[in-house]
Structures are given as C-alpha cells and as structure tokens.
Structure 1
Amino acid sequence: MSVNVSYADEAAIRDHYQHMLDCWGDSVAYAECFTPEADYIIADGMIEHGWKEIVDGHNIIFSAWARNSRLIGRIESIRFITDDVALLIARGHIEYLDNRSSDGNKRTVYSLVAQRFEGRWLFAAYQNTPLAGH
C-alpha cells in the first residue's frame, strides 16, 4: 500500500501536537485537540471516551495535582498508516509552575493516533505509560 503524504501533513501534525501541549490546563481546549469520539487511556488504565469524558477527567486533575502545571513533550516518531492516519510516539512530563518540585513526576511515553478529520489533523486516540524507574 502506498501512502501519499506531504511534508505539510507532518508539519501540521507537529503543529497540532504543540497546540495540544499549549492547551494543557484548559480542559475544554485540551479536549478539542481530539476527535469528538476519541479514546483517551490514562496511565492507570482508565479510558475516557469522547470530549465530555476528556473534559470531565481533566477538570478533576487541573483542579488537583496538575493545577498550575504545563505539559512538556516531544515527538519521537511519526509513521503514516494511511494518507489520513498517523501513529505518533512521544515522551513527556508535567512541569509545575508554582515552585512545586517536578522531580518526582513520572516521565511517560505515549502513543497518539492522528486522524485527518474534517480537513484538519486531530488526535483520535491517546495512550499514556509511565517509564519504569521514574
């Protein structure tokens, strides 16, 4: 199967990934980085389905342990599965902005499925795994 993607597609996905990082702290804006029916699997294995559950789950963490934080991450790889679907592998962690220590924060590796949705790239799935030893 031949996949026809352009540099512009990869750049758009990288830009959208950065936008997702920048939306951290705003549960609605963060959820809107995903398709309306996205599956979001957090580190403890809980699954959030769709925008409402992603918003509700992030409202809880943004008012508790993730308050006053930002999400730091970097894409390690992007592999196009089809012209409209790509698999991303990334690494990241939470950085606290209110002088709490970030040292104990687990570093994670995660996968995202990017999908061209209504003419733009959004994430259709997210899965987060803490790295061993952190």
Structure 2
Amino acid sequence: MTDTVEGFLDRVRQAWDAGDARRYGEQFAEDASYVIFLGDVMFGRAEITATHHDVFTKWQQGTRMVVKPINVRAVDDTTTVVVTAGGIGTASPIAFDKFQTYTLRNHGDRYECVAFQNTEMSGRAKRIYNP
C-alpha cells in the first residue's frame, strides 16, 4: 500500500475544489454509502458522482473544501476509519463546520471510501475547531 490517509483526503479536496464530480466519485467504492448532514443517503459510486454533478453545478458551485484528520484508526490490515473536521465555502479562511467519518479500504495501491457520514458541528465544537 503506497497511499496515505492524507493523500486520500487531498484527492477528495482537490476534486471538490475543481468541481469535478467524476474525480470526486472515483474516491468512493462502487458500493459505497454516503450520508449527508441533511439526512439524505446515496448508495454506490454512480449515484455519488451523479449527485455531485448537481452539487458542483448548482448548490455549491465555486466552493472550496478544508479537511483535517482529527482521529485515524486502523481497524485491521485493510480498513482505516478517519474522523475529520471539514468545511466548504468561498470565504478565506473557510471555517470548520462539519465532522465527517470516512471508512477507508485498501484498494490495490490506494484508499477508497466505502462509507461516509457527514454531521454538522455543534456551536461548542465550532468554537473549539475555529479558534
């Protein structure tokens, strides 16, 4: 395995910043689950990619992403769980306002996400992560 958690997160961020739904979707497994903070769920890379085409061309067009790992745990030789603080926006700097959990699987020489959960931060957490 030559990939790193930071390398995976950087690919996700770069794809988001570029508004590239195809490249964004490629970071997720064919059978991935993807839960957003609004309470919707997507299943599979194809649905994640299609939905993000609309995200990038309508609701979040021109936004950039910040993401910082705050907890990384290897579950076994092929699975790593990563909790991140993240945010999207157009301001500079972009505030952290969400927690994400990525369940990553070794896929050849790189990580792919098999399950993603996005949750809005509480006011207390926002104060901690945005000093």
What is the CA distance between 1:13 and its match in structure 2? 2.0
What is the CA distance between 1:102 and its match in structure 2? 7.4
Corresponding position of 2:12 = 20
- 1:55-108 residue CA offsets vs partner (Å, 9 max, x unmatched): 121111111221011111101111000010000000111121xxxx579x7710
Task: Name the aligned partner's letter for residue 75 of structure 2.
Answer: I
Q: Which runs of 5+ in 2 are unaligned?
A: 127-131
Give 1:120's match in structure 2, choosing from 106, 110, 125: 110
Give 2:80's match in structure 1, choosing from 75, 80, 86: 86
Report runs of 4+ in structure 1 exceeding 3 Å deviation. Answer: none
**1:63, 1:93 → 2: CA distance?**
18
What is the CA distance between 1:19 and its match in structure 2? 1.0
Counterparts of 1:25-36 in structure 2, within 5 Å, are: 25-36=19-30
**2:110, 2:55 → 1: CA distance?**
28
* Distance change (3 Å), C-alpha of 1:28 and 1:132: same
What is the CA distance between 1:42 and its match in structure 2? 0.6
Task: Name the aligned partner's letter for residue 4 of structure 2.
Answer: A
Q: Which runs of 5+ in 1 are unaligned?
A: 1-7
SS at match of 1:64: helix
**2:79, 2:87 → 1: CA distance?**
25
- TM-score computed with the length of structure 1 as normaliser: 0.81
Q: Which has the larger radius of gyration?
A: 1
Query: Aligned-pair RMSD on alpha carbons?
Result: 2.2
Return the structure number with greater helix share: 2
Aligned residues: 122
